[in-house]
């Protein structure tokens, strides 16, 4: 089989675009595995067929995914909110995924001691996000009657100030390590962003798009919650349920001795504290169970 033929999607498959590399790539692969979307990707190929489902994964640069989804070349995709807004593509946001969180910020040299982002109106800005940067500075330009010069670079934005190419930059800030190493500091926030699941508004495979959403939503819930099970006397059941209201509501089963067996979803971060509270209340046989997946 030729490489060109292998690097294509079978007719009728739902095409699902994911980042081929970068900061989101590994997180997306981990999520797909947890959601039961299994595949094998051959080397040098940018497509992979999902096992037992009519879905083709298409590996694309994160910055291109919104455009491909918006134009209908693929049905569904995962990329950053920043990439979607920068592209201007018309897509439906299916859900936020909760990872890849960072901020798109205006950053200026610490030595310049800029305290107000308005100071930068009319100056030179270097960025990989020219559309969002222009949208941010346009109201300031109108206010002060100036024109901010926004120049595009595809990478290494943080060095632009030290090289004399810019008075400030607009770039993503996650931990702030790169920014601080470049001698920069945040003077304004353009956008808070994270990974999102998007779809073409006229996608042909709405049933598969909805199934992918359910699977991913179920996996995300399973990563956040655990099932807590315990026994308690009938008299204490109401108080116990106030401690463990669950994601929707607890499940209560009557026991032969007149007591109640209660189970409820509990956020992982709160599990130990809630188990202590139940023990102090008088609950017994308190057990937590790991969730590998779910459907709500």
For 135-190, write each residue's pLDDT tens digit. Answer: 999 999 999 999 999 999 998 999 999 999 999 999 999 999 999 999 999 999 99
Q: Is pLDDT above 50 for 249?
A: yes
pLDDT tens for 186-222 read 999 999 999 999 999 998 899 999 999 999 999 999 9
In the prediction, which pLDDT does 3 show?
A: 41
Q: Which residue has the higher pLDDT, 84 or 41?
A: 84
Residue 261's closest CA among 275, 271, 247, 251?
Answer: 251
Mean pLDDT, range 99-104, rounded to an integer:
95
What is the model's pLDDT at position 43? 81
Question: Do the beta carbons of residue 92 and residue 198 sit within 8 Å?
Answer: yes
Tell me: pLDDT of 118 over 90: yes
Q: Is the pLDDT of residue 1 over 50?
A: no
The better pLDDT of the pair 2, 114 is held by 114
Mean pLDDT, rounded, for 80-84: 97
**What share of the chain has pLDDT > 90, as a percent?**
89
Distance CA 196, CA 98 (A): 8
CB-facing half-sphere around the CA of 148: CA atoms within 13 A: 30
Query: Quick one: pLDDT band at residue 42, thresholds 50, 70, 90?
Result: confident
Angle at 210 between CA 192 and CA 97, to 5 degrees: 25
Residue 90 has pLDDT above 80, yes or no: yes
Q: What is the mean predicted confidence (pLDDT) over 50-71? A: 96
Mean pLDDT for all residues in the chain? 94
- Write down the pLDDT at residue 7: 60
End-to-end CA distance of the chain: 43
pLDDT of residue 44: 80
Say if residue 4's pLDDT is above 50: no
Cα(275)–Cα(289) distance, integer angstroms: 12
Quote the pTM value: 0.86
Give which of 176, 203, 165, 155 is closest to 107, Cα–Cα.
176
């Amino acid at each position: 089989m030729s490489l060109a033929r292998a690097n294509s999607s079978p007719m009728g498959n739902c095409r699902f675009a994911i980042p081929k590399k970068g900061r989101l790539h590994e997180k997306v692969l981990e999520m797909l595995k947890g959601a039961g979307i299994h595949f094998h990707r051959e080397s040098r190929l940018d497509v992979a067929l999902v096992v037992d489902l009519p879905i083709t994964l298409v590996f694309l640069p994160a910055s291109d995914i919104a455009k491909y989804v918006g134009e209908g070349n693929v049905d569904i995709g995962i990329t950053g909110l920043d990439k979607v807004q920068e592209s201007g593509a018309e897509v439906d946001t299916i859900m936020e995924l909760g990872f890849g969180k960072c901020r798109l910020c205006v950053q200026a040299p610490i030595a310049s001691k800029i305290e107000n982002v308005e100071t930068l109106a009319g100056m030179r800005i270097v960025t990989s996000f020219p559309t969002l940067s222009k949208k941010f500075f346009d109201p300031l330009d109108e206010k002060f009657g100036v024109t901010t010069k926004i120049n595009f670079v595809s990478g290494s934005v943080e060095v632009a100030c030290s090289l004399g190419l810019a008075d400030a930059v607009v770039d993503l800030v996650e931990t702030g390590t790169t920014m601080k190493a470049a001698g920069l500091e945040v003077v304004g926030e353009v956008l808070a962003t994270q990974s999102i699941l998007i779809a073409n508004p006229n996608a042909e495979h709405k049933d598969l798009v909805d199934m992918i959403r359910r699977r991913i939503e179920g996996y995300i819930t399973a990563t956040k919650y655990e099932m807590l099970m315990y026994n308690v006397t009938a008299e204490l059941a109401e108080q116990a349920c106030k401690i463990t209201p669950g994601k929707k509501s607890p499940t209560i089963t009557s026991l032969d001795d007149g007591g109640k067996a209660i189970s409820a979803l509990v956020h992982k971060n709160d599990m130990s504290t809630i188990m202590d509270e139940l023990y102090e209340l008088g609950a017994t046989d308190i057990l937590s169970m790991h969730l590998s997946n779910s459907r709500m």
